[in-house]
Structure 1
Amino acid sequence: MHEKLSLQDRIDRLEAIEEIKQLKARYCRYVDTKDWVGFASLFTEDLVIDFGESTSNPRTREEFVASAARHFEKNSSIHQVHVGEVQIIDDTHARAIWPMYDLVEKTSDDSEYISHTGWGHYTEEYRKVDGRWLCSRTQLTRLKRVALGN
């Protein structure tokens, strides 16, 4: 049987869920507006990245941000996430699954990026650090990816 949570515990969980939703919304906006400092601020220092499709295979937060900047700086992108399933594990740990859509179009002749659109899921873990929720693990799993004519 589940222990009944107090009103304050329920409010705290709802606040945590909302903070995590806001974090993921900023993720999409920072990538699309190419705000790499803001983007880096969303992740823990020990971020774990699992993007199987990545050609650069980043292993650290810094490599992940640099890779995103390299891929998107000379291209136009639209990243969207939809209603996420956010689970608060405890006061400092959470996880979520976000249905996602992206469109990336090559806008520069010197870009080697292949224009595409895709659908899938981000599966992520979060940790509260110094009072802020941050992403500590991110995985992208594609259901479908369609290369577009460049």
Structure 2
Amino acid sequence: MQDGNRRTDLEEIWSLKHRYARLIDTKRWDGFITLFTDDVVWDYVGLPRLTREDTLEMYQVGTAHVAGFATMLADVQTVHHIVMPEIRFTGPDTAEGVWSLHDLLFLPTNRFEGWGHYYEDYVRIGGEWKISRIIMRRLKIVEQWYDEGPTQAAA
């Protein structure tokens, strides 16, 4: 593909990830679900928790998981900062990317702050770029439970 077309592809992938942050923070689940392939792989380590007993990890396949996000985040204010993309094209209609992540979540039970990276695969379907695999790994997590001071969670 020509460099001009790759530049357009790059901008479309950037826009895809920007929409990810905006749509999750504004809880626009109808738009959020359209960012992914039907068989998207979700692999998260370092999720926010509503209770201290909740797991920090999640592995799912498919877009049905978006309903779980909607339920989990119903009473949560989220702020995602996703920056510094590294995108590499692996074929005419495929790419992979790494993004730096810093997010704040204000849950009913605690304030969660995390730093890490998204590792993603993209595929172009019907002229649109979609996320086909999303891996999130934390470098650091700070949870401040409202009944005590800040704690460090193992990511």
The TM-score normalised by the length of structure 1 is 0.85
Letter aligned with residue 120 of structure 1? G
Per-residue CA deviation, residues 7-28 of structure 1 (Å, 9 max, x unaligned), is: x610111111100000000000
Indicate yes or no: 2:71 matched with 1:78.
Answer: no
Preserved contact between residue 37 and residue 63 of structure 2 (Cα < 8 Å): no
Q: Give the C-alpha shift of residue 148 in structure 1.
A: 1.7
The aligned residue for residue 89 of structure 1 is 90
Tell me the residue number matched to 1:120. 116
Instruction: Report the secondary structure of 1:123's partner residue.
Output: strand
Distance in 2 between residues matched to 1:45 and 1:114, nearest whole Å: 32
Which of 32, 38, 50 is the aligned partner of 1:45? 38
* Offset, 1:114: 4.1
2:7 is matched with which residue: 14, 22, 44? 14
In structure 1, stretches of 5+ residues that fail to align are 1-7
2:63 corresponding residue in structure 1: 62
1:135 aligns with 2:128: no
Question: Take 1:89 and 1:62, find their aligned partners in 2: how far apart are those partners?
Answer: 24
Q: Distance in 1 between matches of 2:85 and 2:142?
A: 23
Give % identity: 33
Aligned pair count?
138
Letter in 2 for 1:32: D
Unaligned stretches of 5+ residues in structure 2: 48-54, 147-155
Computed over aligned residues only, the root mean square deviation of the Cα atoms, in angstroms, reads 1.6
Q: Which has the higher helix share?
A: 1
Q: For residue 94 of structure 1, what is the amino acid of its counterpart? A: A
8 Å CA contact 1:58–1:67 kept in 2: the answer is no
Structure 2 Cα separation of the partners of residues 57 and 85 of structure 1 = 24
Give TM-score, length-normalised by structure 2. Answer: 0.83
CA shift in 2, pair 1:64/1:53, >3 Å: farther
Larger strand fraction of residues: 2
Distance, in Å, in 2 between the alignment partners of 1:114 and 1:67 is 19
Counterpart of 1:146 in structure 2: which amino acid? V
